[in-house]
Amino acid sequence: MKTIDRTGSAEVTLPSDTEILIIRRFDAPAELVFDVWTTPEHVRNWWGWDTDAMSVCEIDLRVGGGYRFVAGDGNREVAFRGVYREIDRPHRLVSTEVYEPYPESESINTLTLEEEDGVTTMTIVVAHQSKEARDGTIVSGMERGLQHSLDRVDKVLIAELENV
Amino acid sequence: MPRAATTTDAFNAVAEPRRRQIIDVLADGERSVGDLVGEIPVSQPQVSKHLKVLKEVGLVKSRSVGRQRLYSLDPLALKPIHDWVQEYERLWNERLDRLDGYLYEIQRKENQ
Protein backbone atom coordinates (compact mmCIF):
# COMPACT_ATOMS: atom_id res chain seq x y z
CA MET A 1 0.00 0.00 0.00
CA LYS A 2 1.09 3.54 -0.65
CA THR A 3 1.98 5.21 2.60
CA ILE A 4 1.83 8.80 1.43
CA ASP A 5 -0.41 10.23 -1.25
CA ARG A 6 1.76 12.72 -3.09
CA THR A 7 -0.78 13.56 -5.76
CA GLY A 8 -0.56 17.18 -6.86
CA SER A 9 2.40 17.89 -4.61
CA ALA A 10 4.75 19.26 -7.26
CA GLU A 11 5.83 22.77 -6.38
CA VAL A 12 6.35 25.17 -9.25
CA THR A 13 8.04 28.47 -8.51
CA LEU A 14 9.72 31.19 -10.53
CA PRO A 15 13.04 31.84 -8.78
CA SER A 16 14.35 34.39 -11.26
CA ASP A 17 13.54 36.26 -14.41
CA THR A 18 14.54 33.34 -16.57
CA GLU A 19 14.08 30.18 -14.52
CA ILE A 20 11.33 27.83 -13.41
CA LEU A 21 11.89 25.52 -10.47
CA ILE A 22 9.91 22.32 -10.06
CA ILE A 23 10.24 20.15 -6.95
CA ARG A 24 8.57 16.78 -6.37
CA ARG A 25 9.22 13.83 -4.05
CA PHE A 26 8.87 10.17 -4.97
CA ASP A 27 8.81 7.03 -2.84
CA ALA A 28 11.43 5.26 -4.94
CA PRO A 29 15.21 4.98 -5.12
CA ALA A 30 17.03 7.58 -7.18
CA GLU A 31 18.40 4.95 -9.58
CA LEU A 32 14.91 3.84 -10.47
CA VAL A 33 13.61 7.39 -10.88
CA PHE A 34 16.57 8.19 -13.12
CA ASP A 35 16.01 5.11 -15.28
CA VAL A 36 12.29 5.70 -15.56
CA TRP A 37 13.09 9.25 -16.67
CA THR A 38 15.63 8.25 -19.31
CA THR A 39 14.52 4.91 -20.82
CA PRO A 40 11.98 4.94 -23.68
CA GLU A 41 10.19 1.79 -22.47
CA HIS A 42 9.54 3.54 -19.16
CA VAL A 43 8.95 7.06 -20.48
CA ARG A 44 6.17 5.79 -22.71
CA ASN A 45 4.29 4.75 -19.60
CA TRP A 46 4.03 8.15 -18.00
CA TRP A 47 5.15 11.08 -20.15
CA GLY A 48 2.19 11.58 -22.48
CA TRP A 49 -1.46 11.95 -21.73
CA ASP A 50 -3.24 8.96 -20.28
CA THR A 51 -5.47 8.53 -23.27
CA ASP A 52 -2.91 8.35 -26.01
CA ALA A 53 0.36 6.56 -26.39
CA MET A 54 3.33 8.64 -27.37
CA SER A 55 3.78 8.61 -31.12
CA VAL A 56 7.52 9.25 -30.79
CA CYS A 57 9.78 8.47 -27.86
CA GLU A 58 13.44 8.48 -28.86
CA ILE A 59 16.27 8.70 -26.36
CA ASP A 60 19.98 8.55 -27.11
CA LEU A 61 21.33 8.84 -23.59
CA ARG A 62 24.85 9.99 -24.26
CA VAL A 63 26.43 13.42 -23.87
CA GLY A 64 25.67 15.05 -27.20
CA GLY A 65 22.93 12.51 -27.88
CA GLY A 66 19.40 13.68 -28.51
CA TYR A 67 15.87 12.88 -27.50
CA ARG A 68 12.49 13.57 -29.03
CA PHE A 69 9.06 13.10 -27.44
CA VAL A 70 5.77 13.52 -29.27
CA ALA A 71 2.41 12.93 -27.62
CA GLY A 72 -1.17 13.86 -28.34
CA ASP A 73 -4.62 13.52 -26.86
CA GLY A 74 -6.56 13.48 -30.11
CA ASN A 75 -7.07 17.24 -30.18
CA ARG A 76 -3.57 18.49 -29.87
CA GLU A 77 -0.08 17.16 -30.24
CA VAL A 78 3.01 18.38 -28.48
CA ALA A 79 6.57 17.71 -29.58
CA PHE A 80 9.71 18.36 -27.56
CA ARG A 81 13.30 17.61 -28.41
CA GLY A 82 16.72 18.29 -27.00
CA VAL A 83 20.28 17.19 -26.46
CA TYR A 84 21.89 15.68 -23.36
CA ARG A 85 24.73 17.76 -21.97
CA GLU A 86 25.64 16.11 -18.67
CA ILE A 87 24.75 12.63 -17.47
CA ASP A 88 25.59 11.56 -13.93
CA ARG A 89 23.30 8.67 -13.09
CA PRO A 90 21.41 8.81 -10.78
CA HIS A 91 22.21 12.27 -9.46
CA ARG A 92 22.10 14.75 -12.28
CA LEU A 93 20.97 15.14 -15.87
CA VAL A 94 21.41 18.31 -17.89
CA SER A 95 19.72 18.61 -21.24
CA THR A 96 18.46 21.21 -23.62
CA GLU A 97 14.75 21.37 -24.40
CA VAL A 98 12.95 22.87 -27.34
CA TYR A 99 9.20 23.02 -27.73
CA GLU A 100 9.12 22.43 -31.47
CA PRO A 101 6.57 25.08 -32.47
CA TYR A 102 9.01 27.62 -30.99
CA PRO A 103 12.50 26.47 -32.06
CA GLU A 104 14.04 29.63 -30.64
CA SER A 105 12.64 28.87 -27.18
CA GLU A 106 15.43 26.51 -26.11
CA SER A 107 15.90 26.07 -22.39
CA ILE A 108 18.52 24.23 -20.38
CA ASN A 109 16.94 21.81 -17.95
CA THR A 110 18.84 20.52 -14.95
CA LEU A 111 17.35 17.52 -13.21
CA THR A 112 18.73 16.65 -9.78
CA LEU A 113 17.79 13.61 -7.71
CA GLU A 114 18.56 13.34 -4.01
CA GLU A 115 17.63 10.19 -2.15
CA GLU A 116 17.12 10.07 1.60
CA ASP A 117 15.48 7.26 3.55
CA GLY A 118 14.02 5.80 0.38
CA VAL A 119 12.46 9.09 -0.73
CA THR A 120 13.89 10.77 -3.78
CA THR A 121 13.53 14.50 -4.17
CA MET A 122 13.47 15.58 -7.78
CA THR A 123 14.44 19.14 -8.61
CA ILE A 124 14.12 20.49 -12.12
CA VAL A 125 15.44 23.89 -13.05
CA VAL A 126 14.25 25.09 -16.45
CA ALA A 127 16.59 27.92 -17.43
CA HIS A 128 15.65 30.04 -20.38
CA GLN A 129 18.00 32.38 -22.15
CA SER A 130 17.62 35.79 -20.61
CA LYS A 131 17.58 37.33 -24.03
CA GLU A 132 14.27 35.70 -24.81
CA ALA A 133 12.61 37.10 -21.73
CA ARG A 134 14.07 40.47 -22.63
CA ASP A 135 12.98 40.41 -26.22
CA GLY A 136 9.46 39.62 -25.22
CA THR A 137 8.61 38.27 -28.63
CA ILE A 138 9.04 34.57 -27.97
CA VAL A 139 5.93 33.44 -26.28
CA SER A 140 7.04 30.37 -24.41
CA GLY A 141 10.28 31.93 -23.24
CA MET A 142 8.43 35.01 -22.19
CA GLU A 143 5.65 33.33 -20.34
CA ARG A 144 8.16 31.23 -18.47
CA GLY A 145 10.32 34.25 -17.77
CA LEU A 146 7.90 35.82 -15.37
CA GLN A 147 9.75 36.73 -12.27
CA HIS A 148 8.81 35.72 -8.80
CA SER A 149 7.73 39.23 -7.97
CA LEU A 150 4.56 38.47 -9.84
CA ASP A 151 3.75 36.18 -6.93
CA ARG A 152 2.87 39.29 -4.98
CA VAL A 153 0.70 40.46 -7.80
CA ASP A 154 -0.87 37.04 -7.73
CA LYS A 155 -2.00 37.60 -4.17
CA VAL A 156 -3.59 40.86 -5.17
CA LEU A 157 -5.25 39.12 -8.07
CA ILE A 158 -6.62 36.30 -5.95
CA ALA A 159 -8.02 38.78 -3.45
CA GLU A 160 -9.59 40.67 -6.34
CA LEU A 161 -11.14 37.57 -7.87
CA GLU A 162 -12.64 36.62 -4.55
CA ASN A 163 -14.39 39.96 -4.44
CA VAL A 164 -15.99 39.60 -7.85
CA MET B 1 -0.58 29.83 -29.34
CA PRO B 2 0.97 32.58 -31.42
CA ARG B 3 0.69 36.09 -30.17
CA ALA B 4 1.32 39.40 -31.82
CA ALA B 5 4.80 40.76 -31.19
CA THR B 6 3.35 44.14 -30.27
CA THR B 7 1.94 45.21 -26.95
CA THR B 8 -1.51 43.85 -27.54
CA ASP B 9 -1.90 41.60 -24.53
CA ALA B 10 -0.84 41.20 -20.94
CA PHE B 11 1.83 38.64 -21.79
CA ASN B 12 3.63 40.98 -24.12
CA ALA B 13 3.23 43.89 -21.76
CA VAL B 14 4.91 42.07 -18.87
CA ALA B 15 7.69 40.67 -21.03
CA GLU B 16 9.70 43.82 -20.43
CA PRO B 17 11.59 43.62 -17.10
CA ARG B 18 11.08 47.32 -16.28
CA ARG B 19 7.37 46.96 -16.82
CA ARG B 20 7.35 44.04 -14.41
CA GLN B 21 9.12 46.24 -11.88
CA ILE B 22 6.44 48.87 -12.31
CA ILE B 23 3.73 46.24 -11.85
CA ASP B 24 5.52 45.03 -8.76
CA VAL B 25 5.59 48.49 -7.21
CA LEU B 26 1.97 49.18 -8.17
CA ALA B 27 1.00 45.91 -6.46
CA ASP B 28 1.72 47.78 -3.22
CA GLY B 29 -0.65 50.59 -4.13
CA GLU B 30 -1.21 53.70 -6.22
CA ARG B 31 1.78 55.70 -7.41
CA SER B 32 2.43 58.84 -9.40
CA VAL B 33 5.04 58.88 -12.18
CA GLY B 34 7.29 60.76 -9.78
CA ASP B 35 6.87 58.06 -7.12
CA LEU B 36 7.79 55.38 -9.63
CA VAL B 37 10.88 57.27 -10.80
CA GLY B 38 11.97 57.39 -7.17
CA GLU B 39 11.51 53.67 -6.65
CA ILE B 40 12.80 52.25 -9.94
CA PRO B 41 16.04 53.26 -11.64
CA VAL B 42 14.32 54.46 -14.80
CA SER B 43 13.96 57.95 -16.22
CA GLN B 44 10.63 59.73 -16.18
CA PRO B 45 10.11 59.49 -19.97
CA GLN B 46 10.77 55.74 -19.78
CA VAL B 47 8.33 55.29 -16.89
CA SER B 48 5.70 57.22 -18.82
CA LYS B 49 6.31 55.11 -21.91
CA HIS B 50 5.95 51.86 -19.97
CA LEU B 51 2.82 53.10 -18.19
CA LYS B 52 1.30 53.89 -21.56
CA VAL B 53 1.86 50.31 -22.71
CA LEU B 54 0.49 48.91 -19.45
CA LYS B 55 -2.58 51.13 -19.78
CA GLU B 56 -3.16 50.04 -23.37
CA VAL B 57 -3.49 46.41 -22.33
CA GLY B 58 -5.56 47.32 -19.29
CA LEU B 59 -3.04 46.25 -16.67
CA VAL B 60 -2.86 49.74 -15.24
CA LYS B 61 -5.49 52.41 -14.76
CA SER B 62 -5.10 56.02 -13.71
CA ARG B 63 -7.06 58.75 -12.02
CA SER B 64 -6.44 62.42 -11.47
CA VAL B 65 -6.11 63.74 -7.95
CA GLY B 66 -5.66 67.50 -8.01
CA ARG B 67 -2.79 68.14 -10.36
CA GLN B 68 -1.43 64.65 -10.01
CA ARG B 69 -2.18 61.54 -11.97
CA LEU B 70 -2.08 58.37 -9.92
CA TYR B 71 -1.55 54.95 -11.44
CA SER B 72 -2.81 51.68 -10.02
CA LEU B 73 -2.93 48.06 -11.02
CA ASP B 74 -5.96 46.39 -12.48
CA PRO B 75 -5.25 42.86 -11.32
CA LEU B 76 -8.00 41.31 -13.42
CA ALA B 77 -5.95 42.03 -16.53
CA LEU B 78 -3.25 39.78 -15.08
CA LYS B 79 -5.61 36.85 -15.01
CA PRO B 80 -4.26 35.33 -18.26
CA ILE B 81 -0.79 35.20 -16.72
CA HIS B 82 -2.08 33.88 -13.44
CA ASP B 83 -3.95 31.22 -15.39
CA TRP B 84 -0.83 30.36 -17.33
CA VAL B 85 1.27 29.74 -14.22
CA GLN B 86 -1.52 27.64 -12.77
CA GLU B 87 -1.90 25.70 -15.99
CA TYR B 88 1.84 25.08 -16.09
CA GLU B 89 1.80 23.80 -12.53
CA ARG B 90 -1.21 21.64 -13.28
CA LEU B 91 0.51 20.08 -16.31
CA TRP B 92 3.63 19.28 -14.32
CA ASN B 93 1.56 17.83 -11.52
CA GLU B 94 -0.32 15.59 -13.92
CA ARG B 95 2.89 14.36 -15.48
CA LEU B 96 4.69 13.77 -12.20
CA ASP B 97 1.63 12.12 -10.66
CA ARG B 98 1.66 9.64 -13.55
CA LEU B 99 5.37 9.08 -12.98
CA ASP B 100 4.63 8.54 -9.30
CA GLY B 101 1.92 6.01 -10.07
CA TYR B 102 4.17 4.21 -12.52
CA LEU B 103 7.07 4.05 -10.04
CA TYR B 104 4.69 2.61 -7.48
CA GLU B 105 3.43 -0.02 -9.92
CA ILE B 106 6.84 -1.25 -11.06
CA GLN B 107 8.13 -1.42 -7.49
CA ARG B 108 5.05 -3.36 -6.45
CA LYS B 109 5.64 -5.82 -9.29
CA GLU B 110 9.32 -6.18 -8.36
CA ASN B 111 8.38 -7.03 -4.81
CA GLN B 112 5.91 -9.70 -5.75
Residue of B nearest to A162 (CA): B76
Q: Which residues are registered as beta bridge partners of A77? A: A72
- The answer to whether residue A71 sits within a structural domain is yes
Task: Select from A36, A134, A139 the Cβ nearest to the Cβ of B99.
Answer: A36
Instruction: For residue A109, give the CATH number of its domain.
Output: 3.30.530.20
Alpha-carbon distance of A140 to A143, in angstroms, equals 5
B2-33 pLDDT, tens digit each:
444 444 677 677 767 788 889 888 888 899 99
- What ipTM describes this predicted complex? 0.74
In chain A, count of helices (H) and strands (E)?
Answer: 5, 8
Does A145 fall in a domain? yes
CATH code, domain carrying B40: 1.10.10.10
Q: Would residue B1 count as lying in a domain?
A: no
| The pLDDT of residue A134 | 30
Count of structural domains within chain B: 1
Greater model confidence, B103 or B83: B103
Q: How far is it, in rounded angstroms, from Cα B105 to Cα A100?
A: 32
Cβ contact A109:A97 at 8 Å: yes
Of A46, A143, A156, the CB nearest to B11: A143
Is B72 within the bounds of a domain? yes
A4 in any annotated domain: no
Supply the DSSP symbol for A75. Answer: S
Which phi and psi (to 5°) does residue A147 adopt? Answer: -85, 165
Q: A44 in contact with B at a CB cutoff of 8 Å? A: no
- Is B20 among the domain residues? yes
Is A49 among the domain residues? yes
- Where in the sequence is the domain holding B58, given as residue range(s)? 10-111
What mean pLDDT is predicted for residues B34-60?
A: 93
Is B77 within a domain? Answer: yes
Residue B5 lies in a domain: no
- What is the amino acid identity at position B98? R
Mean pLDDT in runs of 10 for chain A (164 residues)? 78 75 91 93 81 84 96 75 97 92 82 95 85 37 36 47 52
Per-residue pLDDT, A162: 58
* pLDDT of res. B112: 79
Q: How far is A20 from chain B (nearest CA, A)?
A: 10
**Partners of A83 in the beta sheet?**
A66
Cis peptide before A90 (omega within 30 of 0): yes
pLDDT, tens digit (0-9, with 9 covering 90-100), for A75-121: 667 788 999 999 999 999 999 998 887 777 788 999 999 999 999 99
d(CA A74, CA B28): 44
Split into its structural domains, chain A has a count of 1
**Structural domain span for residue A131:** 11-163
A3 inside domain: no
Question: At B85, is the pLDDT very low, low, confident or very high (cuts 50, 70, 90)?
Answer: low
